[in-house]
Amino acid sequence: MAILQLEDGKVYTDLKYISRELASLNIQLNYWPVGEDSQLHELLAKDSLNEDEKEQVLVALDRYFEQLQQTAGYQFRDLIVLHPETPNLDGLLTKFDKIHTHADDEVRYVVAGEGIFGFVRPDDTQVELTVQPQEYINVPAGTEHWFYLTPKRRVKAVRYFTNTEGWVPEYTGTLIHRRQAVA
């Protein structure tokens, strides 16, 4: 269940309320079940996955990719797997823990673990959204945001792209007001 924390410390977990709070940014947040496939659940429970296992996960979830291909023109997908033993994990995360934008939408389907997206709203207030398993998020191109892991430091997420060039962080220089204390 997604958790939205406002800058004043208020916390919300109702998906409909969270969607209303994020509407000014045109962020889409949905619940997408992974299904009951026991082999898929075994893979999602592992810390790390080799390339063949990643492809198995992607194929098991391709019904969502096919839907995005038809409705929004997505052409590529991959699976990112981060955990405490990921080589240079902190270095990888520093690319995204400062406020930035992208030229393309940032589309993620978290299938295991969790991560926190922060957003700058049009009134310059900031919110942080903990995205958890079976939640899909689409952050539109040009949206000021940042990302970091919760203290569990584990996430498996399918990333969807219309192309791979638009997904380079463009840092805005906006400062993060504060990070949420709990996730």
Q: What is the CATH number of the domain that holds 93?
A: 2.60.120.10
CA gap 156, 176 in Å, rounded: 25
Amino acid symbol at 20? R
Annotated binding residues for Fe(2+), written as ranges, equal 100, 102, 106, 145
Q: Per-residue pLDDT tens for 87-132?
A: 999 999 999 999 999 999 999 999 999 999 999 999 999 999 999 9
Strand order in the sheet with 135-139: 28-31, 135-139, 106-113, 155-161, 76-82
Q: Per-residue pLDDT tens for 65-97?
A: 999 999 999 999 999 999 999 999 999 999 999
Indicate the burial class of 66 (C-beta count within 10 angstroms; 0-12, 13-18, 19 or more): exposed
Annotated binding residues for Ni(2+), written as ranges, equal 100, 102, 106, 145
Residue 129 lies in a domain: yes
Residue 173 lies in a domain: no
Residue 169 lies in a domain: no
Residue 180 lies in a domain: no
Q: What angle do CA 10, 15, 21 make, to 5 degrees?
A: 55
Whole-structure pTM value: 0.94
Residue 174 lies in a domain: no
Annotated binding residues, written as ranges, equal 100, 102, 106, 145
CA gap 88, 6 in Å, rounded: 31
Q: Residue 134: which domain range? A: 3-164
Q: Look at the chain and report how many structural domains it folds into.
A: 1
Residue 143 lies in a domain: yes
Residue 175 lies in a domain: no
Residue 145 lies in a domain: yes
